[in-house]
Chains A and B, each alone.
Chain A
Amino acid sequence: MSKMTYESAMEQFDPVFGIEVHVELNTKTKMFCGCANEFGAEPNTQVCPVCLGLPGSMPVVNDKAVESAIRLGLSLGCSIRESSRFARKNYFYPDLAKDYQISQYDEPTSYEGSLDVVLDDGEVFTIGIERAHMEEDAGKNTHVGGTGGIQGASHSLVDYNRGGVPLVEIVTHPITGAGARTAEVARAYVATIRDIVKALGISDGRMEQGSVRADVNLSLRPKAAAGEDQNAVPFGKRSETKNVNSLRAIERAIHHEAARQADLLLAGQPVVQETRHWHEDTSSTTPGRSKEEAEDYRYFPEPDLLPVQPSREWVEELRGTLPEHPAKMRVRLKEEWGFSDMEMRDAVNADALDLIASTVAAGAKPQAARKWWMGELARTANDREIALPDLPVTPEHIAELQGLIDEGKINDKLARQALEGVLAGEGSPAEVVASRGLEVVSDDSALEAAVDEALAAQPDVLAKIQDGKVQAAGAIVGAVMKATRGQADAGRVREIILQRAGVEG
């Protein structure tokens, strides 16, 4: 157990961190073959001689993946190399079909960029990007028996569907100066990358499915004495925590690692330079490979592929297709929508911005769209333990639902029932309203009859109202709503009650 907290570690040490983000591209086919790039198919059904690494097979570069990688590089402010090369990264592992990974090494497509990330309080932090390079993903091992890890497993199964899926790996320069805000900056950085790849349309950005994955490097160094330059203090030994796959986990991994390293340093023990595994359940890390036993990947240029040489014209053409930077877009949307800081932040954190934007685009008012997605729908997603975008309801549905309310066809309560129907797959809101008979009763004669009946049944209440205790009308409203199965307009019912009682409200 750590004795230090993140906060106390930050008081005593100066943190330096760096992040490697892997983005899975959403191209139709894999990086080097024609197999489908889709998540969730039956194991080993999206494979061919190339991505299985069968003897004799050869890779061919997917041009669409190159296009995506260049657009991402441009979005990160990177320079695009006129000629970049693929290289082989050699290591033996069963999920790596060829026993080498085709990646980029000394000549990445995109290099030297920078990205502004906006923290919750509006402070802007600039992150230096070292490179963004293309590579292929490996397959997936499943260890059977034991605890699910490779230790103690009776055997392992390999699924090569993911093998050869195109990735872009974005590597930052070491990031200094974030101090106690390190965890926040790290989280905001990954969130910004996620938002950028979604805005570019080059990845679904789904961290829970592994479409965006992060490795977090962290080291601590002594704080510079007063008046001394912090940047003159050498970096400490770093740990690299692999596969941190949610925004919350990024913050927590940094909290954990900072406290763990501070404990070691204060006890006079060295921090070992090593990779560490992240454990979501315990919010902690355990050691992986140390630098001493790190593999030599024997990189060399991939002789089966020609260099990637995007023409300057093409690069400029792609630059013209870049979407607005997510941070800028947020400022604009917040203004346009009239959201408070808190409302905006919650929407961003819930990954609801796109959904709200689409709902607004489909005709709903921004606040109404926000209330649906951040209220009823967020609760439903939470109950079902799925992500908001995975709910079986579209922004168009929500806009339609809100439209029905605005037209007075249904009230809020009926709208929730209609939404239930939509979520149950019964059709669009209008269809559910029709099929379930949810429309508001707006026919005054029907309402008058119901009011008269209720008043007759409760003469004591009528007397109270006539005595001036107007709030007693609530009981009659309730009875009428019950009699009409909630389909009456409560406001109109109240008016009728008061008319009938001979008092004006």
Chain B
Amino acid sequence: MTDWTRASAAQMVAALKSGEVTSVELTQAHLDRIAAVDGAVHAFLHINGEQALETARGVDEARAAGEELPELAGVPIAVKDILVTQGMPTTAGSKILEGWEPQYDATVTRKLREARMPILGKTNMDEFAMGSSTEHSGYGPTHNPWDLERIPGGSGGGSSASLAAWEAPLAIGSDTGGSIRQPASVTGTVGVKPTYGGVSRYGAIALASSLDQLGPCARTVEDAALLHEVMGGHDPMDATSLQEPVPSCVEAARQGREGDLTGVRVGVIKELSGEGYQAGVEQRFNEGLEKLKELGAEIVEVSCPSFEYALAAYYLILPSEASSNLAKFDSVRFGMRVEKGNVERTMAATRAEGFGDEVKRRIMLGTYALSAGFYDAYYGSAQKVRTLIQRDFEAAFEQADVLVSPTTPTTPFKLGERIDDPLAMYLNDVATIPANLAGIPGMSLPSGTAPEDGLPTGFQILAPAHEDARMYRIGAALEKKLAEEWGGPLASQAPELEVAK
């Protein structure tokens, strides 16, 4: 009997269409897998078994009745707990929202329901998406399926770990500074941050509104493309959402798999290598470049001198916006309430108890940065750096069609290793942050495992704004070439998890 959890979403679509498998079987297989391994991985904060099976049954009945169904109908999915889901708890990884059931659906949640995809559950994350390790979740860390003692990345460690642990074929992520791409990199999976505005943010609990973007997480580039097209498109509820149609990601991925990149200029960002980059990470990255060359691409070196200031600018803009976005968690209308005599003290006590250290750290940073007298020096300067970074990208994209770098400087670190050293944790996002500051799309796909520790390494592809399809084409071409060597997706090389009885 086939283990359907090992299939790609595209294979599941084909099998559902041919009648080889039902959505109930697929969904049940994943629920069983979650029951078996999630005790060790802890990718999920909430498991939505009954509703998922109900959706699956509906799809199976509709298919039996000959109804026309959306492409991904019946393929189960995991959803990062940042997305509000009516009738399902939504916490954003924070104790302050424990027990809250949203009264409405996010636009992307609604699109998943309209696509008739069974929602398996809500995945773990660093509290309010602040972190790169999922250790800052209010509900305990997620473990990397490659090595349970290591971080699965963050903030979307739950979504990526659920893919690497075969608990779900697809997942929703959100990327403010790398929270889709960095977990993808360290779990040997694929993650895409679309162009800013490409996917509606309505109903995604805001961290930093000018940086946040929802995107697809998958085990293959093609699967990510399938999900991207379901998620994307203009939304009148999000004033920053783009008016243009969803890019043709699936078509681009399929074109890429044909393996011809002749005439494509690939720019290697000089500043994202060297000091601080693990040898095995750089080795796999360089091998990836060789593969691209073999496919016909031209490799050029580009320089983005302002990237030096990206991390500093990011850690002013993000906390500033977050300090304001997180003000609404005041105990008045929803979530935790710690009663303390009067409303002011109640608000303060609730926030003191409900928020974790990393959240408090960033709220304090942001509140300070926005204060009268400091605004120009901090928030104002950071916005100027942002403009410089955008100019660096513009200049670089004149020389290259896509830009590439290792997604993260290192393979996943050990849980607890950087918990008391936030700067070291922040450095893990040095390569992913510039894309958020510029609003451009970025993808991370597996480039192999580092010879020194056997842990996954990631290859990042960046494209100009609105050119999301371009990175799907190049990503799919590279992925195919690598998979031929590996004999399947990289995730298949992860050690088998011990299955709970």
Q: Which residues on A are within 8 Å of B, measured CB to CB?
A: 49, 52-61, 88, 90, 92, 94, 97-100, 156, 158, 296, 298-300, 303-306
Contact = CB atoms under 8 A, between A and B. Distances in A.
B96 to A, nearest CB: 10
The secondary-structure label for the interface of chain A is: loop
B370 A58 contact: no
A158 B343 CA distance: 12
A60 B330 contact: no
- Which 3 residue pairs of A and B lie closest in terms of their CB atoms, listed nearest first? A99-B327, A303-B209, A298-B370
Contacts of B104: 49, 54, 57
B97 to A, nearest CB: 7
B48 interface: no
15 contacts: A54-B84, A56-B102, A56-B202, A57-B202, A58-B238, A59-B239, A60-B238, A92-B330, A92-B344, A98-B327, A99-B327, A296-B372, A298-B324, A300-B320, A305-B239
Nearest to A99: B327
Interface string B98-109: 001011101000
A90 B370 contact: yes
Interface of B: 83-84, 90, 92, 97, 100, 102-104, 106, 201-206, 208-210, 236-240, 320-321, 323-324, 327-330, 332-334, 343-344, 347, 367, 370-372, 375, 379
Contact of B239 (A52, A57, A60, A299): A60
A53 B240 contact: no
B371 A296 contact: yes
A292 to B, nearest CB: 14
A303 B97 CA distance: 23
A94 B372 contact: no
Contacts of B371: 296, 298
A156 B202 contact: no
Contacts of B202: 56-58
Contact of B333 (A88, A97, A100, A299): A97
A50 to B, nearest CB: 8
B118 to A, nearest CB: 22
A97 B332 CA distance: 8
Contacts, number: 100
A150 to B, nearest CB: 8
Nearest to A59: B239
A60 B237 contact: yes
Contacts of A299: 370, 375
Contact of B379 (A57, A158, A300): A300
A55 B98 CA distance: 13
Contact of B92 (A55, A296, A298, A304): A55
Contacts of B240: 303-306
A49 B343 contact: no
Contact of B324 (A59, A60, A90, A296): A90
A303 B90 contact: no
A294 to B, nearest CB: 10
Contacts of A60: 236-239
B334 A54 contact: yes
A94 B333 CA distance: 9
Contact of A55 (B97, B208, B332, B343): B97
Nearest to B236: A60
A53 B100 CA distance: 14
Contacts of A100: 324, 327
A156 B102 contact: no
A90 B208 CA distance: 15
Contacts of A53: 328, 333
Interface centre among A56, A98, A296, A298 (most CB of B within 10 A): A56
B239 A98 contact: no
Nearest to B373: A296
Nearest to B335: A55
B343 A303 contact: no
Nearest to B200: A58
A300 B84 CA distance: 26
A303 B210 contact: yes
A400 to B, nearest CB: 47
A304 B92 CA distance: 19
B464 to A, nearest CB: 20
A115 to B, nearest CB: 31
Nearest to B346: A94
A59 B325 CA distance: 13
A395 to B, nearest CB: 41
A94 B344 CA distance: 9
Given A298-B367, A298-B371, A303-B209, A92 B347 contact: yes
Interface centre among A90, A100, A298 (most CB of B within 10 A): A298
B225 to A, nearest CB: 26
Nearest to A89: B324
A54 B239 contact: no
Given A94-B343, A303-B321, A306-B239, A55 B327 contact: no
A54 B328 CA distance: 8
Contact of A61 (B90, B106, B203, B239): B239
Contacts of A306: 239-240
A300 B382 CA distance: 13
A62 to B, nearest CB: 11
Contact of A94 (B237, B330, B370): B330
A59 B201 CA distance: 11
A98 B328 contact: yes
A55 B90 contact: yes
B127 to A, nearest CB: 13
A25 to B, nearest CB: 19
